[in-house]
Amino acid sequence: MGEYKKYFEKDGALARRFQIVKVAEPNQDVTAEMLRSLLPMMEKHHNVSIREEAITATVHLSDRYLHGRRQPDKSVSLLDTACSRVAVSQSTSPDAIQDVEASLVRYQGELALLTQERSDVLRQEMLANKIAQLEEELEQLKSAWRHQSELVAKYKVQMIFHQRICTEKNWKVHIRKTVLWFLSVWIKIVLLMLFLGGQVFHWVYALMVNNKSIRSVKMLGAASFGAAICYVRYCITSSYLSGRS
């Protein structure tokens, strides 16, 4: 609407050639369906897995806290930002670990300076205790981060394995349908040939008994062969279309 007011509303002649069509903002259910349609693209782009709870929370929280924008734009933007941060957090250390490491470096530098100057022994003892506490806290944070990283890696492996299984199942179903289609086509062709062979033999025998001319026999054979070709093409086409559906 802002672009319309900026570029079109100023020019009355141009504005008269357009008609404003107001589109209502979708409700939460419709917005959630829109987000679900974007899940494969977002998961592939960010290399993350998005659960149903994330979609529900995205729609609810965006409606509650983001008042300057409309749906589904604010929900898509919120979910995309969350996926980006999750993807970045998987490759870099968490903020808590970075903060503890920065504090540890600062205290170690101060302790080294006081030790070199041989001054303020009480401050040195306090810094030494603080450094020991930070080192223990850092080890706990790194251990928890490693555990979470292992869980994420296992989950990704399971997802890849599940996708491969689904792909193999789809291929097996496709191969089975293709084989059944070929079998049905060949069975129809064989049955048609047997039927036409019996009919041709019956017609030839009847013509020979009635002393018909050889030319009539040839014409009848050509007509039967043409009809057989048309029927076979019809069988193949109908079987292919039914197999595709």
Domains of the chain, first to last: 2-92 (1.10.8.60), 96-244 (no CATH)
pLDDT of residue 212: 47
d(CA 88, CA 86): 5
Query: Which pLDDT value is given to residue 227?
Result: 58
DSSP sequence for 13-26: HHHTT------PPP
Averaged over successive runs of 10 residues, the pLDDT of the chain (245 residues) comes to 72 79 87 91 85 91 88 91 83 81 88 81 85 89 83 73 73 77 74 63 58 51 57 57 51
Per residue, the 3-state secondary structure of 113-161, as one string, reads: HHHHHCCCHHHHHHHHHHHHHHHHHHHHHHHHHHHHHHHHHHHHHHHHH
77: nearest Cα among 61, 100, 93: 61
Contact 239, 188 (CB under 8 A): yes
The pLDDT of residue 195 is: 64
Predicted pLDDT at 29 = 92
Residue 233: how many CA atoms within 13 Å on its side-chain side? 6
Output the pLDDT for position 173.
76
Amino acid at 146: R
Contact between 107 and 127 (Cβ < 8 Å)? yes
Q: What is the pLDDT of residue 57?
A: 92
Confidence (pTM): 0.48
